[in-house]
Structure 1
Amino acid sequence: MTIISATGNQSATTLLAATKTTATVTAVASQQAAATQSTSVTIGQATSSTPVYAITKPALVWENASADLISSKLAGNFSSAGNAARFAGLGAALLERFTTDAGSYSQSVLKQTAGPASSVSSAQSQLHTKADNQITLSVKTASGALVDITLGSDADGLGVQVNVTKGTLSDADRTALAGLADGFQKAIDGLTAQPPKLDLSGLTKFDTSVLSSVDLHATLGTKNNVQTLDFHADASTRSVKSTGELGTVDISVDMSKRALLGTDSQQKQALNQYLKQFSSAGTRGNADSSLMDMFKDAFTALNSNYGASATTYKSSGPEPVHFSLTKTDKNMMSGLADFTASVTQTPTDKTNPMRPDEVDTFSYQVSQASTITGDSTQNRNITQKQQSHLVASFHQSLTPGLKLNLTSDRDSQNYLYYQIDDKAESTTSVQYHKGALVSASVDQSASTSTHIQKYVKGWLESDTTTPVETSKTTDLLGKLQSAWQNDAPRMSFRDYLAHQSLPDLSGLVLLESDPVQLKNTPA
């Protein structure tokens, strides 16, 4: 312990002079110095050993004596507050390390406290396994090696670890791992942002012939506000589930039916259409904008970087059938992989103390499912169904822009209570018989239900329900035949489908959740 004392008279003038000109520095060594470094400062008459104030600087304990780049980043980040600053740059640095080193790695820094060495060892181990804030990236290579990268942080420590097990890494493995550095860091930065974001697209950009799977797990925050994430990607599936104070995002994408994937322009068109409808659903259901942004970001990430599509599809079952799909087939599909997606906002049941049964909720589900059946390519049936369902309830002020503040006082009970229930569906059916396209159509429907209760000074003044519904069928085969008659009537219809540029019909099959918009769109 170092004690710095300044002596002088008790008068204000002499005191100021003393602080400038007189100082006695005494160094005291004790057994606790290894645990804590402390500076005590006494100003005025040195008649007491009790300092006016003390500055305590805890010593730091390092897991390994090293001056490498990652240790330097740990040292720089450790003094920062918050997960965003604590984890800044660490994820990328750990993956970039594979450009020079293919082995395991472990490092941590702790605030040292007086106690046995075993407690320090236990604290170091906990940083790598059960820290308060923990992020783990697990990557399996095609050759079978497993790489686990862990970042852990709590009030008294910060640590990172790399474990390479079940094999060794080839040069191609190391290059592919380093290629995930930017995507991993962006995912970390998003998760630790306020509000959190799901920036995961960089973790889908990998060659599945080198890296067979990528998993990201995270647990961040305090006991009353924990944000969790589970992400997975491989050649056949992609999924993400995130839960937190705002709600839950849950998305799964089936990559196994690559034969149905469309062109880049088709995929972009479909993705934009879905994002537009997600925004509309969030606005209509009064959803939290940050939660909807997370949902849209995750959906975009999982439906990006598909890689190469395929032309054949093998059905499941004891006697699988191999189907060959054509550009005509893909031209009448959405272009996206099959998926299920949902976003659910944490319900709020304390908005209106006078009527606790009026709960603010938001739940939205959307999906696409495709099937290919038949006994051969010559006799095949393709069905693709897209559907969505929105259920929401919320309170709104009678005066636009005025913040609602409902209390047990009837004078505050002036509001509208909305209950929303919307559904939409789009089903595309394509049939071939003896190699000829004999039927192709899309059936679409959309319905909305808006239930509004109006209260004035606590009394129900009106109670209305407004349903709107539209359905229609579009003959896709007829549109192809019309294009054939206009463009190449001297050619057979089958040859036209096989060799000519076809009109893009994919936009006609996309889900439309607004019944008014669906009604006004030409069939």
Structure 2
Amino acid sequence: MNFIASAGPGLLDRLAARRAAASFRPAGVSSRAADAASPAASTAGTRVTLDAATTDAAVYARPSAPGAGPRRVWAKAGDDGLSELMSRNSGKEAHTLSDRWRGLGGALLKQLADTGERYRQTLADVVPALPDAGATDPAASTPDAEGAGSADPAAAAAALQQQALSGVATNATTVSLKVQTRSGQTVELKIGVNSGESGGTRGLQVEVSSSGPLSGAERDALARLSDGLDRALEGLGDGVPTLDLSGLTGFDADGVLTGLDLRIDHPDASADRPGQLRSFSLQLGAEKKSLSLRSTSGEMALEVDAAATSRATTGAPASGRRWSAIDQLLQQVDAAAERSHADAAMTKSFKDAFRQLQAPPADPDETRRVDDTRRSDAGEGRGRPQDAASLLAVRHAANTGSSSGAGTAAKATTAAKGGAVDALDPSAMAPMSDGLRTQTQSLQSGLADFQASFSADSQRTSRIGSVQEAGHAEYRIGQTTGERPNAATGGRSITQTQTETLSASFQKSRTYTLDRAGGNYDATTVEDSNTVTTLIDTTRDSIARAMRKTDEQRRKTFTEVENHRAASHQEWPDQRSVMERLR
């Protein structure tokens, strides 16, 4: 049995204008304003019996006169704090996704944390207005064989109402959050936003639930995630997306949550708006952190070894080294972006993602200091290139295939018979002392192993908005670290390899506007690659040898194009190989 209540415009206007309370009120608790509604706003509704499969009570507000504008339809009575927030976020001033999302994610998490119960609500703004349940629609009434009308106007109105509510999910922009708890429960949160421009009904749809009962500690952890989720959505939905993930990356600070998965899909993204969000995903776990973002200009991806992030950043000195290493790598990204004229917004998003996913575990005050500039005070000695080169060649021959990728040691192997442990099994290595581990880490990059890339179109415009330059850049950088026993020294061989590639092309106008169609412009291409390999050999209690080899290749071309033909062409190739002995 579903109930359709009719209410005057006064209550609707008051609900739409009401601002969210400073402290969140759980759903199901009616506001004082709703309780004090005028008699005209609380007139008796029309009760309609629908199909038994329909379980939610649908509520809509009747306009005061025919054609009075859109009708706001609710899946159930909108008299709780979340419904009020949805109403506010669907007002006339809500233009961006940030406006429609504002505060909803955090409020849903707090709702579950406060009550432990599932919550669902749908709001649809229907244009043209639905017919009144008490009005007779001639088109909906069909005479039967005996000439009697067979249609029920109230039932027809209710059916249209349900159709409008169902249409909110059609081609909607969706936010989906899943949080895993250590006890094995899964918390799911969903937000759907429909602009009504790509089919379906303009409106909002929200839901939050848990697969089972949550402990007090788990509820507290969810409540602490609420502000971080709101900040993340605020940045991602505001025109060109920005990344503020600091409130999510520390999700497991208390050890009661084991995983977080946030996904956004925006089918309404317009190709006419460069940089607008198309999709986003963030996965955080004990072993891996990964992020991907697609916009109308390009895409980026990042994966970080989360286990290595925790192992390598114990204590303030290690944390300081990590921030210094992050700053140093971001300077590489800036240099590559400048050389390739890469899209500024995508470059910024890439740097923000790298900084936040590589950040060491720290207290909230320290994580906000991500913009501090720090310089490493670790010195690097130089040795004789000839001797270092010979030693590197020997070590590479001895360690072929030793790199594990993403810092994960090779798994133990056993003989087919007898179960004997392989002599080169990494798990058979003697534990490394804290002092020796600190020494070896000081010779490495200071970063957790990672793979990262971005690819994006770019444009540069004049003060009057004409396109003067357009291009495309692809950038990739990554690091892998591996360890294995060293039979010659009785210790270990550690190999760390960092690779970087850049491929870009851009065309620049020689006048006020880029003339690609006419084939008159200056064309530039960039092809760079860089590999840095660090090799460290240890004995049982000290470093025996350490070296670093850098191989770099750079190539830039410049072509003057006139009427689609090359009028002139220049190239600047560059190649260097450097060997450093560190110990």
What is aligned with 1:364?
A: 475
Structure 2 unaligned residues grouped into runs of 5+: 1-5, 9-45, 47-58, 132-155, 197-201, 272-276, 364-406, 414-424, 460-468
Aligned match for 1:324, one of 432, 441, 450: 432
What is aligned with 1:18?
A: none
Q: CA deviation at 1:265?
A: 1.3
1:23-34 aligned within 5 A: none
Number of aligned positions between the proteins: 414
Q: CA deviation at 1:313?
A: 8.3
2:178 corresponds to 1:134: no
2:260 corresponds to 1:214: yes
What is aligned with 1:441?
A: 547
Contact 1:35 1:58 in 2 (8 A): no
Distance 1:146 1:130 in 2: 26
Does 145-154 or 191-200 show the bigger shift? Answer: 191-200
What is aligned with 2:247?
A: 202
Distance 1:388 1:232 in 2: 24
Aligned match for 2:522, one of 407, 416, 435: 416
Aligned match for 1:271, one of 326, 329, 332: 326
Contact 1:135 1:151 in 2 (8 A): yes
Distance 1:383 1:279 in 2: 27
Identity across the alignment (%): 28
What is aligned with 1:406?
A: 516
1:51-90 aligned within 5 A: 56-79=68-91, 80-90=94-104
What is aligned with 1:16?
A: none
Contact 2:112 2:209 in 1 (8 A): no
Q: CA deviation at 1:425?
A: 1.6
1:180-195 aligned within 5 A: 180-195=225-240
Contact 1:370 1:385 in 2 (8 A): yes
Q: What letter is aligned with 2:243? A: L
Aligned match for 1:389, one of 491, 501, 512: 501
Distance 1:153 1:343 in 2: 28
Cα–Cα, structure 1 residues 387 and 217, in superposed 2: closer, same or farther, change >3 Å? same
Q: Secondary structure at the residue paired with 1:94?
A: helix
Does 205-214 or 246-255 show the bigger shift? Answer: 205-214
1:507-518 aligned within 5 A: none
Q: What letter is aligned with 2:455? A: T
Q: Secondary structure at the residue paired with 2:115?
A: coil
Q: What letter is aligned with 2:244? A: D
Q: CA deviation at 1:87?
A: 1.0
Distance 1:121 1:447 in 2: 63
Q: Secondary structure at the residue paired with 2:107?
A: helix
Cα–Cα, structure 1 residues 272 and 381, in superposed 2: closer, same or farther, change >3 Å? same
TM-score (norm 1): 0.72
Q: CA deviation at 1:269?
A: 1.1
Contact 1:313 1:324 in 2 (8 A): no
What is aligned with 1:454?
A: 560
Cα–Cα, structure 1 residues 334 and 35, in superposed 2: closer, same or farther, change >3 Å? same
Q: What letter is aligned with 1:142? A: R
What is aligned with 1:143?
A: 183
Q: CA deviation at 1:224?
A: 4.7
Q: Secondary structure at the residue paired with 1:181?
A: helix
What is aligned with 1:101?
A: 115
Q: What letter is aligned with 1:145? A: Q
Distance 1:151 1:344 in 2: 29
What is aligned with 2:484?
A: 373
Cα–Cα, structure 1 residues 65 and 305, in superposed 2: closer, same or farther, change >3 Å? farther
Q: CA deviation at 1:34?
A: 7.0
Does 435-444 or 317-326 show the bigger shift? Answer: 317-326
Does 275-284 or 316-325 show the bigger shift? Answer: 316-325
Distance 1:429 1:256 in 2: 22
Q: Secondary structure at the residue paired with 1:92?
A: helix
Q: CA deviation at 1:275?
A: 1.4
Q: CA deviation at 1:250?
A: 0.8
What is aligned with 1:502?
A: none
Contact 1:204 1:305 in 2 (8 A): no
Does 376-385 or 206-215 show the bigger shift? Answer: 376-385
Distance 1:442 1:210 in 2: 41
Q: Secondary structure at the residue paired with 2:482?
A: strand
Distance 2:213 2:70 in 1: 40
Distance 1:462 1:103 in 2: 71
* 1:492-512, Cα deviation, whole Å (9 max, x unpaired): xxxxxxxxxxxxxxxxxxxxx
Distance 1:57 1:313 in 2: 61
Q: Which structure's residues are more often strand, by fraction?
A: 1
Q: CA deviation at 1:158?
A: 0.7
Distance 2:448 2:349 in 1: 20
Q: CA deviation at 1:365?
A: 0.3
Structure 1 unaligned residues grouped into runs of 5+: 3-30, 41-54, 349-357, 478-523
Distance 1:122 1:75 in 2: 20
Contact 1:396 1:404 in 2 (8 A): yes
Q: CA deviation at 1:344?
A: 0.7
Contact 2:122 2:204 in 1 (8 A): yes
TM-score (norm 2): 0.65
Contact 1:137 1:216 in 2 (8 A): yes
2:83 corresponds to 1:37: no
1:8-27 aligned within 5 A: none
Distance 1:424 1:375 in 2: 28
Q: CA deviation at 1:71?
A: 1.2
Q: What letter is aligned with 1:68? A: D
What is aligned with 1:296?
A: 351
Q: CA deviation at 1:461?
A: 2.4
Does 146-155 or 261-270 show the bigger shift? Answer: 261-270
Q: CA deviation at 1:404?
A: 2.1
Would you identify which runs of 4 or more consecutive aligned residues in structure 1 move more than 6 Å? none
Distance 2:493 2:295 in 1: 42
What is aligned with 1:493?
A: none
Q: What letter is aligned with 1:331? A: S
Q: What letter is aligned with 2:85? A: K
Contact 1:242 1:248 in 2 (8 A): yes
What is aligned with 1:339?
A: 450
Distance 2:451 2:119 in 1: 38
Q: CA deviation at 1:259?
A: 3.8
Q: CA deviation at 1:67?
A: 2.5
Q: What letter is aligned with 1:420? A: V
